[in-house]
């Protein structure tokens, strides 16, 4: 059985080639996570878990395994979630339609995070 989750694919745990139907569902799930709605969802979820918006002393984690991605032991921030997951989703799209839609949403997130850092630092 295939599971559509990011954590399984990031850890190379897919155990079969996805069907077209699975790829469409997976792309739709990922499209929901990025763009303007994705930004809102990210901060809503982070707030519900009492995560900080941003802490310059907490760097995004690299080369995450499924276990490390799921770990609740390390302090994380909502902004780090963009680097750890959301910015990666565009390149994980399976269908041409998903890839096309993801481009615009990805660019929106890049611009949002760049503006966030500008405002956080007092430069904007």
Could you say which of 3.30.70.270, 1.20.58.1910, 3.40.50.720, 1.10.10.10 is the CATH number of the domain covering 21-55+77-123? 1.20.58.1910
Reported pTM: 0.85
C-alpha–C-alpha distance, residues 122 and 68, integer Å = 33
DSSP string, 62-83: -S--HHHHH--SS--BHHHHHH
Q: Which of 42, 74, 45, 37 is nearest to 58 (CA)?
A: 74
Taking only the tens of pLDDT, the chain with its 124 residues reads: 455 576 666 656 555 678 999 999 999 999 999 999 999 999 999 999 999 999 999 999 988 888 878 777 788 999 999 999 999 999 999 999 999 999 999 999 999 999 999 999 998 7
Residue 35: what pLDDT?
95
Domain boundaries defined on the chain: 21-55+77-123
Do residues 94 and 26 make contact, with C-beta atoms less than 8 angstroms apart?
A: yes
Residue 14: what pLDDT?
56
3-state secondary structure at position 104:
helix
């Amino acid at each position: 059985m295939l599971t559509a989750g990011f954590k399984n694919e990031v850890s190379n745990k897919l155990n079969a080639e996805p069907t077209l139907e699975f790829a469409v569902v997976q792309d739709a799930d990922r499209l929901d996570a990025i763009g303007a709605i994705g930004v809102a969802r990210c901060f809503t979820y982070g707030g519900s878990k009492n995560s900080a918006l941003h802490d310059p002393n907490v760097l995004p984690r690299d080369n995450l395994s499924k276990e490390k991605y799921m770990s609740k032991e390390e302090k994380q921030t909502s902004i780090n979630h963009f680097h750890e997951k959301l910015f990666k989703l565009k390149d994980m799209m399976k269908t041409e339609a998903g890839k096309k839609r993801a481009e615009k949403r990805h660019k929106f997130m890049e611009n949002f995070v760049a503006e966030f850092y500008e405002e956080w630092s007092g430069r904007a």
